[in-house]
Each structure stands twice: as C-alpha cells, then as structure tokens.
Amino acid sequence: MSSPEIASLSWGQMKVQGSTKTYKDCKVWPGGSRDWDWRETGTEHSPGVQPADVEEVVEKGVQILVIGRGMSEALKVPPSTVEYLKKKGIDVRVLQTEQAVKEYNALATQGIRVGGVFHSTC
C-alpha cells in the first residue's frame, strides 16, 4: 500500500489524495489519513509533538516520518520525540510545513513507506 500524496496545502487547510475531507492538521500513512486532533494527547505548541502523537503513524510500518512544524514553525518537536522515532528505526525529518509537504510528497512518489504529521497554521 502506498502513501497518499498531499494534494494541496494552504493556511489552515490540507487535502490528501484519496480523501474528500479538508484537514487543519493531519496524520498520513501508507493507505490512509485522518485529522490530527491535538486534544487526544494534550498537545500544545510547546513542548510540542509528543511520542503519543506519532505512535499511530509509526504502527503503520513507516520507514520515514515527516513532521510539519507549521507555516511559521511555532510547533516544537522535543528531543524525546526524535529519540523515540530513532529507537524504532525510523528516519525522522522535522521541517517547516510547506517544506515538509514537499519532502513527504517526493518520498511518497518514490514509493517509500513514508508517514507524516502536519500542522497547517502557525
């Protein structure tokens, strides 16, 4: 199963191939996508993305995880989250969201089992 490409990105809106939904923040993995609801894990801009935020995507068997920190990179990614991913053998890329989407789509186009969590505003 391949990773769906991100079809469009603008402030507060993301569309993923294969889904009719418009996301504000989203998680994507080989074969699917869904809303990334920060309330599920109590996530805030600081301390930022927690292992619990990426665990669902990790469980889908990704080789690389791309994290989009927002348009102005307001969302932090603590070292503990990066360490969690590395211990699972996953290559992690932490980027500004527009750059993260480009990176993710390039990897998905190559057929790599890539996943992502993306914040589409600040």
Which residues contact residue 63 at a Cβ distance below 8 angstroms, ignoring those fewer than 6 apart?
A: 90, 91, 112, 113, 114
pLDDT of residue 1: 85
Query: Which superfamily does 6-118 belong to?
Result: MTH938-like (3.40.1230.10)
What is the C-alpha to C-alpha distance for residues 101 and 14, in angstroms, rounded to an integer?
Answer: 10
Which residues contact residue 60 at a Cβ distance below 8 angstroms, ignoring those fewer than 6 apart?
A: 29, 30, 31, 32, 115
pTM here is 0.97
Report domain extents, the chain: 6-118
Q: Are 52 and 82 in contact (CB under 8 A)?
A: no
pLDDT of residue 84: 98
What is the C-alpha to C-alpha distance for residues 53 and 119, in angstroms, rounded to an integer?
Answer: 12
Q: What is the pLDDT of residues 49-80, one digit of tens each?
A: 999 999 999 999 999 999 999 999 999 999 99
Classify 112 as helix, strand or coil: coil
Locate 67 and state its tokens.
């994290």
Going by pLDDT thresholds of 50, 70 and 90, the confidence category of residue 99 is very high
What is the C-alpha to C-alpha distance for residues 116 and 25, in angstroms, rounded to an integer?
Answer: 11
Give me the percent of the chain exceeding a pLDDT of 90. Answer: 99
Whether 36 has a pLDDT exceeding 90, the answer reads yes
